[in-house]
Amino acid sequence: MHYTVVSFSHKNTPLELREKLAFSSNQDMIDFYKFLHSLDGVNESIILSTCNRVEIILNRTDDSNISELIYGYLSDYAKEDIQTIKNVGKVYQDGDAVHHIFKVASSLDSLVLGETQIVGQVKDAFKFSYDNGFSGKRLARVMHHTFRCAATVRNETSISKNPISVASVAVSQAKELLDGELGGYSAVIVGAGEMSSLAAKHLASAGVNLIILNRDMEKAHKLAREIDSVTVRVEPFGELPNLLNHFRLLFSATSSPEPIITKEMVKDTSFHRYWFDLAVPRDIVECKREDISVYAVDDLQAIMNKNIKAREKNMNLANKIIADFTEEFFKWLQTLSVDPLIKEIRDMARDSSTKELQRAIKKGYIPKELEKSVEKILHQAFNSFLHTPTKTLKNVSELPQSDTIVQSIQLFFGLNAKQRKALDLYKCDYQIEKDLKPKES
C-alpha cells in the first residue's frame, strides 16, 4: 500500500495556471475522480482544490509513476502545454506524501502562515470524496491523523494566534493603503461564501460599512444578519456595474469560472479605488487603469513574508510536531495488519497451553509419556476455539471500523502495549457515523 500526492501550489505554480487547474464545478471534480480511478493501482483519492493549491492525494497498491498520466489529463483540462504542467508539478511518495499532507493542513505550507481556513478545506475535500465513494478506510486513516496533527500544531504553538487568512491580509492591506484607518469607509462585498464572509467580518471589525451582493440573495441576507456592528445592506447582483464605480473598496470572492467584472463595467471616477480579487479563477478581468489598484491572491505575498518573520520562532516546533506525527502514523499503520495479529494470538494460546502442560507434568497430573498426545489435543482445542474469531477478523479487515476493532483486540489481549494509546488517536468519526446511520427504506 502506497501514498502519493501530486501538488500544485502557490509555491511552484503561478496564479494564471492555478486558475486553469482549479475545478470550478462538482461535475469537473467528479470527472477527474473517475479518471484517477481508471488508472491501474489507484484505490482511493482525495482532491483538494483551493485558491492557492490543487493537491491530488492517492492511495495505491503499487509505487509506479502515474504522474505523467495525471499531467496529461490536467493539460487537456487546463488547455495548457503538458510540459508547462510538468515543470511546476511536485510529486510526493509514501512518507513524504503523508508529511506533506500534514504540513498543508497545519498551514505551514500556506500563502499566509498559520491561517486557519485550510484545515476546513481539507475536511470538506475528504467529505466530498468519501460521500461520492472515492475514498474509504485507507485515506481516512491519513485524514484523521492529519486533523489531529493540525490541532496539535494549533494548540501547542502560537503559529495560529490571532487567526490569519488571505481575507484578513487583504483587509490589512486596504487599511495600510488608506493611511491605517478604515472606519467610515464603505466596501462592496461580492459573494457570500467563506472567503467573502471572512473579508466582510474583518471589514466590519474595522468599522467599514458593507454592501453585499450575491446571486443567491438569501445567502447575502444570511451573511448580513451575521454582522451587526456596522451598517450592512444587501443589493441585487445586477447592481454590481453601478456600485463598483461609486466606492473606493471592493472585495470579490465568487466561484464563477469567468470574470464577473469586465472592462466594459469600469467607468472613470474622481477618486482612487482599491479592489481585492480573492477568487481563483479571478473575478476581475485584468484591468490596468490609473484610478484603480487591483490586488489578487498572489499580490499578498509581501504581507505573508512579514507574517513568516513574526512567527518563525514557532516554525521549528511546528515542524517537529509534524515529523513526529508522520513517524507515529507509519508505526501505527504497521500494527493494523490482521495476519500478524492472528499469529500473535495463536502464539499466545500455544505458549499458554505448553506452559500449563509442563506444569501439569511436573506436578504429576499427567504422565511424561503422554506429553505429545496431550499437547496435540490442547493445540487442536485452541485452534478450534480461535477458528471463528480468526475468520471474523479477516472478514472485517476491509471495513472502516476494522482499525478500531484491531486496536481493541490488541488492548484486550495485552498486545502491542507501546501503541495501545492509538485507540484514542484514531477516531474515524465521520465514517463510523455514516456507516451506523439507519438506511432509508
pLDDT for the residue numbered 417 = 47
pLDDT for the residue numbered 400 = 58
pLDDT for the residue numbered 422 = 44
Residue 51 annotated to the active site: yes
Decide if 238 contacts 230 (C-beta within 8 A): no
Query: pLDDT per position in the chain (441 positions), as tens?
Result: 789 999 999 999 998 899 899 998 899 999 999 999 999 999 999 999 988 899 999 999 887 789 999 999 999 999 999 999 999 999 999 999 999 999 999 989 987 777 788 999 999 999 999 999 999 888 998 998 999 999 999 899 888 775 567 888 899 899 989 988 898 899 999 999 989 999 999 999 899 999 999 999 999 999 999 887 779 999 999 999 999 999 999 999 998 989 999 999 999 999 999 999 999 899 999 888 889 999 998 887 667 666 666 667 788 889 999 999 998 888 777 666 667 777 788 888 888 888 988 989 898 889 998 989 998 898 888 888 888 888 887 777 666 566 667 777 777 877 764 444 444 433 444 443 444 344 443
pLDDT for the residue numbered 425 = 38
Decide if 188 contacts 278 (C-beta within 8 A): no
- CA dist 349 and 383 (Å) reads 9
Pairing between β-strand 249-252 and β-strand 273-277 as defined by DSSP bridges = parallel
pLDDT for the residue numbered 158 = 81
Predicted model pTM: 0.67
pLDDT for the residue numbered 163 = 56
pLDDT for the residue numbered 307 = 65
pLDDT for the residue numbered 131 = 93
